[in-house]
């Protein structure tokens, strides 16, 4: 009975017209909006409604969380889920947004965190980090995409870098390709074209690869076409074909010899392409 009522509420929500302010926010946030086909556009709007209306939003530490901030974050979620089923973020229950980078009280490192996702359904984000990522849309750094990729990952039950794929036949090539590039990132960090934060574990690799898939599709397609193909099969998208408004697809290069000062974000830029073949 509860599931039936939930579906009824969702169906009613999806029939509601998109508020004009939301339409404008979509146009401002996604320069490629008019390039989307009808199904992608419908999926984008449907996921946006679900994220805005059926998830709990909390401003942490006294941070005033207005609609424009919620819209900005939800649009990024709708962007990556626009071709996925409407229950893609079923495991997600709430967003907790800080007005600054935050720290975890039990973290021995004690460094500032830009975002984290919890298996019980909460995504925590630093709003300044979100703004930084959105200010450089071709940098490969987007903490919103990163943490929501974790939510998709745990849909399978674990943070293990393998979300719930669409078909049983998808798992073998996914495992083979992802393991190949994950191992390479660990073994040859000096040649990395993906952010080295992805070498932490398989879950972080999937999240970093998702950021690259949406923000650096040309680079990912050139350097790792099979990885791009697996991500495209999962997200049911081909972002490479959408014209990009960025002046450059090259992420900013940081010094790989410096000590990391922050967690929850990319710390290094790309190096030389990996040569595995």
In this structure, are strands 115-117 and 56-60 parallel, antiparallel, or unpaired? unpaired
212-263 pLDDT per residue, tens: 999 999 999 999 999 999 999 999 999 998 876 665 545 455 444 444 333 3
Q: What is the pTM (predicted TM-score) of this model?
A: 0.86
Token pair recorded at residue 93: 């229950």
Question: At 113, is the pLDDT very low, low, confident or very high (cuts 50, 70, 90)?
Answer: confident
Tell me yes or no: is domain 2-171 CATH 3.40.220.10. Answer: no
Give exposure, 79-98, as e/b (b: 16+ Cβ within 10 Å): bbbbbbebebbebbeebbbb
Token pair recorded at residue 64: 């005033």
Q: Mean of the pLDDT values across residues 192-219?
A: 96
CA distance 98 to 58: 9
65-110 pLDDT per residue, tens: 999 999 999 999 999 999 999 999 999 999 999 998 887 776 666 6
The gap from C-alpha 55 to its chain's centroid, in whole angstroms, comes to 17
Q: Is 267's pLDDT higher than 90?
A: no
The residues with which 122 forms a beta bridge, in sequence order, are: 94
Q: Is 56's pLDDT higher than 90?
A: yes
Token pair recorded at residue 18: 């998109």
Higher pLDDT, 252 or 130: 130
CA distance 163 to 155: 6
Residue-level pLDDT at 26: 97
Residue-level pLDDT at 77: 98
Question: At 270, is the pLDDT very low, low, confident or very high (cuts 50, 70, 90)?
Answer: very low
CB 157 within 8 A of CB 167: no
Q: Is 264's pLDDT higher than 50?
A: no
| 204, HSE (Cβ side, Cα atoms, 13 Å) | 18
CB 228 within 8 A of CB 213: yes
Domain boundaries defined on the chain: 2-171
Residue-level pLDDT at 214: 96
Q: Which distant-in-sequence residues (6+ apart) come within 8 Å of 117 by Cβ?
A: 123, 124, 147, 148, 150, 151, 154, 159
CA distance 115 to 134: 14
The residues with which 250 forms a beta bridge, in sequence order, are: none
Q: Where are the alpha helices (DSSP H) in the chain?
A: 2-15, 20-29, 38-53, 67-81, 127-135, 143-153, 171-187, 202-215, 217-223, 225-235
Q: Environment class of residue 219 by beta-carbon count within 10 Å: exposed (0-12), middle (13-18) or buried (19+)?
A: buried
Question: If phi over 0 gives left and psi between -120 and 50 gives alpha, with beta otherwise, what is residue 198?
Answer: alpha
The residues with which 99 forms a beta bridge, in sequence order, are: none
Q: Is 45's pLDDT higher than 90?
A: yes
Q: Which of 113, 97, 5 is nearest to 57 (CA)?
A: 97
C-beta atoms surrounding 21 within 10 Å: 11
13-44 pLDDT per residue, tens: 999 999 999 999 999 999 999 999 999 999 99
Residue-level pLDDT at 277: 22
SS3 of 60, please? Answer: strand
Q: Is 122's pLDDT higher than 70?
A: yes
């Amino acid at each position: 009975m509860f599931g039936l009522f939930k579906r009824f509420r969702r169906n009613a929500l999806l029939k509601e017209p998109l508020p004009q302010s939301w339409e404008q926010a979509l146009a401002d946030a996604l320069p490629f909006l008019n390039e989307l086909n009808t199904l992608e556009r419908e999926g984008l709007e449907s996921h946006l409604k679900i994220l805005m209306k059926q998830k709990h939003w909390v401003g942490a530490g006294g941070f005033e969380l207005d609609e424009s901030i919620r819209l900005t974050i939800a649009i990024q979620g709708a962007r990556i889920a626009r071709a996925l089923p409407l229950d893609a973020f079923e495991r997600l229950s709430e967003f907790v947004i800080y007005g600054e980078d935050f720290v975890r009280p039990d973290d021995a490192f004690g460094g500032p965190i830009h975002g984290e996702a919890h298996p019980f359904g909460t995504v925590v984000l630093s709003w300044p980090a979100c703004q930084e990522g959105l200010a450089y849309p071709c940098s490969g750094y987007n903490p919103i995409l990163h943490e929501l990729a974790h939510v998709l990952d745990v849909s399978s039950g674990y943070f293990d870098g393998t979300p719930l794929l669409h078909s049983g036949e998808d798992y073998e090539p996914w495992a083979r390709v992802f393991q190949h590039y994950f191992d390479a990132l660990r073994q040859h960090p000096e040649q990395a074209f993906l952010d080295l934060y992805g070498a932490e574990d398989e879950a972080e690799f999937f999240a970093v690869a998702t950021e690259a898939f949406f923000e650096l599709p040309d680079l990912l397609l050139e350097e790792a076409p099979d990885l791009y193909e697996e991500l495209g099969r999962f997200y049911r998208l081909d972002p490479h074909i959408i014209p990009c408004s960025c002046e450059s697809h090259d992420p900013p290069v940081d010094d790989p010899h410096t000590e990391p000062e922050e967690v929850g974000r990319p710390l290094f830029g790309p190096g030389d392409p990996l040569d595995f073949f």
